[in-house]
Structures are given as C-alpha cells and as structure tokens.
Amino acid sequence: MTELLAPHASRVIAIELDDKLLPRLRETAERLGNVSVVPGDVLDLDLGKLAGGERFRVYGNLPYYITSPIVRLLMECADRLDAAFLVMQLEVAERLVAKPHTRDYAYLSVIVQYYSEAQIRLKIPAGAFRPPPKVASALVSLRPPGERRSLHVADDAAFAHFLKGCFAQKRKTLRNNLRAMMDEESAGEVLNRAGIGPTARAEELNLTQFARLFELTYTRHSQT
C-alpha cells in the first residue's frame, strides 16, 4: 500500500505498530524518498500534528478489534480530513452506513454520518486474504463534512456526548436514556417540544431530530 500511494502523494506518513515489520518498511521508505515512518499505535498519535497542520487523507487496513476507536479518532480530525479509505470487518462497515429503523443503526452510525459521508465501496470475501479471516470485509470511504455542515450544532463535543447517552441502552426508550441527563419530567418536555413520541427509541431518530433534541436540552441546561 505504501509503494502504491507514494507516487501519487507529495508525502506519505506510514504508521506501524509491529516492530517486526519496521525494518522492511524503513527500507521501502528510504527507497521511495517521500515516505516517513512513524512507529507506534495510531490511537496514541496526534494525526493533525503529524500532518503538519495540512489537510490529509488516510488509507489503511484496520485491525478489526480496534476499528471503532480508530474511526472515532478520525472523526475528531474531520476539520482537516479530506477523506479516509479503510478496510474493515463488513459488520462494522454496515453499522457505519446504517439508517434509522434498522438493526445496525447505533451511536457509531450517527457520529460517523454527522462528520462524514460514509459509503461501502467494495465488499471483500474472506478468501481474498491469506490467511483468510473468519469474517467478510469491506472497503469503506469516509468523506467529510457529512450532515454536520447543515445542522449548525453549537458544540460538537457536547453533541457527541449527548448522542452516546441517547444510545447508552438501546433496548430502553429514549426518554429513559435521557433521564441520565435530566429528570423524567424534563425528559418528557424536551421530547414533546422536539415532536418526538414518549416511547421512541434512539434508533428511530435521524440526525436532524437528534440535533433538535440536543438544542432543546443544551438550551435548557444553559438556563438552569
């Protein structure tokens, strides 16, 4: 992947955690000339700082067991991220693109779609890998800005925290999940003002509805 990317970029930053792979990667980088090797865990790195404040793209085959944390890290860099092209477990890919009223729609779906347009570009069978994993994979593209541009949310970090609370217990109603943020009467009031029924669950709401509900909650907290 590094060799394929290098001819098409002014600079490539290759992040590698495995010490056994670093010597060969460094040899490749030296030969190519425009590749910098960064040893370490991507979750411990400041991607914006690595990019020197410039906009950047990300390409990677993600370790399946830390796909979600890596995707969330990339969404935190959305202001500088041009796009990301990631190979991941198909099950997670389907969660990223899931829509309301579907089984896969969850917190990861809404936070990714808030910051980016997510698309499954290619489904990859297990047999495409050696050795083959036990699951199917997919190539996913994430292209900011997503729905964030049109929603005009006042505080992105607070909104992300709010969304996580809304999906805290998927089997419970949204009203019950909101009780962790306010009393039951207030939860009923903000749902009513947002035009959302008292028995609605988080997986039934789209991002526009979440943004309206957050605005009402955020405004109410700022007034108390």
48 belongs to a structural domain: no
Owning domain of residue 81: 53-149
| pLDDT number for residue 220 | 59
Q: Tell me, what CATH number does 212's domain have?
A: 1.10.8.100
| pLDDT number for residue 165 | 94
Mark whether 82 and 125 lie in a shared domain.
Answer: yes
| pLDDT number for residue 2 | 93
| pLDDT number for residue 184 | 87
| pLDDT number for residue 221 | 56
Average pLDDT for consecutive 10-residue bins of the chain (224 residues)? 94 95 95 95 93 93 92 94 96 97 95 98 93 92 96 93 92 90 89 93 96 86 54
Q: In angstroms, what is the C-alpha Rg of the chain?
A: 20
47 belongs to a structural domain: no
| pLDDT number for residue 222 | 53
| pLDDT number for residue 223 | 53
Long-range contacts at 167-174 (CB < 8 A, ≥ 24 apart): 167/106, 167/107, 167/110, 167/202, 167/203, 170/106, 170/201, 170/202, 170/203, 172/201, 173/198, 173/199, 173/200, 173/201, 174/200, 174/201, 174/202, 174/205
28 belongs to a structural domain: yes
Distances (CA, A) of 161 to 156, 164, 210: 9, 5, 12
Instruction: Say whether 35 sits in a helix, a strand or coil.
Output: strand
Tell which of 118, 149, 180 closes a domain: 149
CB 73 within 8 A of CB 80: no
